[in-house]
Amino acid sequence: MYRGILIGLKYVSDTVRGFFVRNASGTEIKVFDTEGNIYVGSSGIGNGTISGTTKSAIKVTPVPSVATTSINAHKLVTIGDETGNTAYGFGDVAKPTTGLMASFGRTAIATGTQTDTGLDVRVINKLVNTGVNAIQGAYIKAKNYADSTVGSLIGLFVEAVADGTVTNGAVGIKIGSDGSALKEDIIFSNGLGIFCSTAAITANSTATTLPAGTMGITSNGTGVGKLFVSDGSKWQFMAVS
């Protein structure tokens, strides 16, 4: 495994005390002082960094990726086991355990139209790749190994709590794009999915290449309010039996 930063190592010297991480070349880099503050002089890590018009409380600059025969994966930040297969002895037997938590709130009243985001993860590609590679914004796995027991196994739990006033209403999950066309909005484990269109859909006339059984809806005046299903070549009205 290749690591830009490996978090989880603690090093204390008799002369220079603090918390250190080890970079890809094996060099120990001071990250926190003894009070837990970000050490500004650490290589590749910035405290209160301003880039253009964006300010970051903590900024990690990755080591450039290079092709190496002994490397099978590249990771910017690793917390815990970098292979993803080791369950470390962490947590309390009678208390909930969290691997990574980010929590923040405004101290200044929002007066403009903007969105505060708890987690912003982006994968950006600007290359013409020749291999059959895929890009995904996030990968979340909850795995219970063979011969292990757990009460429930949930891959993803999303909760929107609207105890106070929500002017436009609370939404559990919102799916969108930057204006580019989506093949499907959701794909399920059986390969079928849901396609949300803005184009006209006419039963037994509008063509589609989506797998037979894929559901479709549209916001267009032609087809709005109706449920469609792909037969493999055209959209048909969904049957109710």
pLDDT at 56: 78
CA angle 223, 228, 230 (to 5 degrees): 130
Q: Is the dihedral of CA 13, 16, 20, 23 positive or negative?
A: negative
Residues of the chain short of pLDDT 50, as ranges, are 1-16, 40, 42-43
Match 């918390």 to its residue by tokens.
19
Amino acid at 100: L
Query: Which phi and psi angles does 55 have, rounded to 5°?
Result: -110, 130
Q: What are 39-65's pLDDT values in tens digits? A: 545 445 555 667 788 877 777 777 676
Q: What are 159-178's pLDDT values in tens digits? A: 999 999 999 999 999 988 88
What does pTM read for this prediction? Answer: 0.69
- String of b and e for 160-188 (b: at least 16 CB within 10 Å)? eeeeeeeeeeeeeeeeeeeeeeeebbeee
pLDDT at 98: 84
pLDDT at 77: 75
